Chains A and B, each alone.
Chain A
Amino acid sequence: MNEISWILIEAGVKALIIIGMMLLVAAASVYVERKVSAFIQLRIGPNRVGPFGLLQPFADVFKLFLKEDIIPAAADRWFHRIAPVISLGVAFAVYAVIPFADYIVIDDKIIQFGIAPDVNIGILFILALTSVGVYGITLAGWSSNNKYSLLGGLRSSAQMISYELSMGLALVSVILITGSLSLTDIVRDQAGWRWNIFIQPLGFIIFLVSSFAETNRAPFDLPEAEPELVGGFNTEYSGMKFGMFFLAEYANMATASALIAMLYLGGWQLPFPPEWLGLQPHTLAMALAQFAFLVIKVAVLIFFFIWVRWSIPRFRYDQLMNLGWKVLLPLAIVNILITAVVLYILK
């Protein structure tokens, strides 16, 4: 066995762990979403399956597995099958470059928390994958041969392409400050409450709003606007294929939350000096503490996503496009200009 084989095995094991974790996070978010929406609407929410309805997501998954899988007669069977796979695959692939904690050293061996957290082009990789994610939804809409699906697919791709721009430009300001495209470097740069949210408040807001649009979540869930489009791009999907789109939506939400936490909220940085707990850098205890704080930040952000969905009504399509192109894009460009000038003066 040479070195490359070991690297491959290590990456494979980590990928399996991360996928398992993501499935759990998705199940938990579905449960939280239903409970929070019930709370906001003065209902009780799921409470029959297991204690406090905790097993409800698993019951839902079983239901989806057992349901008949219908492909419309006029659909393009090949694209209809592959579209949910693209959506879910892309949603998971993003985690290849996300650092879950700082690296640890055991017996002079460096162990990374993440598959390739140190890669130099981490942010670009994530941007590239989000642009690939458009294909899953677009192909789903097109291949169903249904006008509602097609409209949903078109809306979604137009929306994602538009908001990708302001998202990318908001990122540029962060990159200017850090001077690196690696997520690990960006997180390290925010040590000791030097969080980017305080340095880049405008960029944070632009990125947050764009993430809502990128994940097709309310108030920007026009691709599946039920009153107008039946179910949007996934109208003709049933069984586990629908389940995969559903899962991809929640996985994307978790990805967006993790990304916001990494870029603006200090990622796995502890909110207090680690010496208070007597933690040494690059030990297992330290890494676990960092991971715990990352999980807390992501959980708060996921709750925020859910909270917004059940509080704010859906935008109209022209409002969505106006917001993206006439408000967020100019603001992002101004933000880059200000950041660049301030950095130049400080140097």
Chain B
Amino acid sequence: MVTIAISSQKGGVGKTTVAINLAHAFGRSGSRTVLVDADPQGSVGLSLTRQSRLLSGFYDYIDDGELKVEGLLVPTRMQTLSLIPAGQASDYDLNGSSSAVVTSRLRNLHSELEDLGMDICIIDTAAGLFGATADVLSMADAVLVPQQAEPLGIRSVPKMLEALTRMRIANPRLMILGVVLTMMQELLPESRDTGQALRAIMPPEMVMNTVVPRGDVFVKASARGLPAGVMDGGDEVLALFDRLRIEIESRLGFMS
């Protein structure tokens, strides 16, 4: 199983949108995929019914050594895609004494999901590369970094790279898949220029070719916690995230 964390230093850059739609794309391709909501304020679980929102999830699993992953999995209409919601327990402090326990539980999570036959685990993390997100990155195989195609977003890039550098020390096998530009507005010069500037200053391999545009369909879908591809007019989104999936698979060496 390959675990891919969707993380960024900055909030509001479209992590959850990327995570949901990427997981959906992997599921559609036939890979047994689980989408884990590790963002206590995330919206992966918003599509769940009110009752199922009370289910245990990722943070409960970390807190309670007795819980099994199998009991947390929420099936979706797609047989190959399951969710693990954030759950009821609150975030924890990385600096607390329980960090080793947290790491151990994260390893268990990985191994239980693997035993259940999962091929891909996509983890939607909270903003910032510290605390729970740092713990997730310490056991992930790869990280994908959504980056808003807006001028202010560029300013966070050095901080993001510094944080990833630190994470790479903690987890030397962590593969940096790269930055995926999100919320791109091709007709807006500032947005377009930001994307071009990022590509100009970063190594080409560090910026994904696929760009996620800003669009009503994402806003509507994210409000419901659904993959944008299942919304009306979502065909282009399906194609877009298929391209992103293929890029990622290629970088992971699936297709080399």
A binds B: no
Chain A residues in the interface with B (C-beta under 8 A): none
